[in-house]
């Protein structure tokens, strides 16, 4: 499944709110683990970007710029990073198929704060279904 880096946290949070049947919950757990692995890579990329632009990331995750001002071009490059596509794979076809089948028929309620995350997640599932 393909997602934008910017969608990873919201999709993971959305999936964690659902009460699911055992097999689907297992698939979700593996999917969230893959999302978290991609988030770690994103975090490393963000830290490297800050370093490349002359900043430093503190232990608390705060960005400190040398002269206290965000350098020109940083926000543009960060936006590019957040819009990059990441591929998340469940290397267990049985679980992936169960996840796709479950959500193809699922008509649960979506908390408005997760509407965009659900949309991105469902789009990725539909694209995966077409493969």
Token couple for 89:
């794979």
Q: For 41-63, give one letter per residue: b (16+ CB within 10 A) or e.
A: ebeeebeebbeebebebeeeeee
The pLDDT score that the predictor gives to residue 11 is 96
Each domain of the chain, given as residue ranges in start order, spans: 2-130
| Beta-carbon contacts of residue 3 (< 8 Å; ≥ 6 apart) | 11, 35, 38, 85, 86, 88, 120, 121, 124
pTM of the entire predicted model: 0.87
Question: Can you tell me the mean pLDDT for 68-79?
Answer: 95
Question: Can you tell me the mean pLDDT for 52-81?
Answer: 94
Question: Can you tell me the mean pLDDT for 82-87?
Answer: 96
In the predicted model, is pLDDT for residue 92 greater than 90?
no
Q: Of all residues in the chain, what percent carry a pLDDT higher than 90?
A: 76
**Mean pLDDT value across the chain:** 92
* Residue 131: band (very low, low, confident or very high) from pLDDT cuts 50, 70, 90: low
| Beta-carbon contacts of residue 41 (< 8 Å; ≥ 6 apart) | 86
């Amino acid at each position: 499944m393909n997602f934008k880096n910017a969608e990873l946290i919201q999709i993971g949070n959305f999936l964690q709110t659902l009460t699911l049947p055992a097999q689907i919950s297992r698939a979700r757990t593996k999917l969230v683990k893959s999302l978290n692995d991609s988030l770690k890579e994103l975090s490393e990329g963000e830290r490297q970007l800050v370093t490349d632009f002359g900043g430093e990331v503190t232990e608390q995750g705060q960005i400190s710029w040398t002269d206290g001002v965000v350098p020109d071009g940083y926000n543009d490059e960060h936006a590019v990073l957040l819009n990059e596509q990441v591929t998340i794979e469940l290397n267990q076809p049985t679980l992936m198929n169960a996840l796709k089948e479950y959500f193809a028929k699922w008509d649960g309620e979506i908390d408005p704060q997760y509407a965009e995350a659900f949309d991105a997640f469902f789009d990725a599932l539909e694209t995966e279904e077409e493969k």
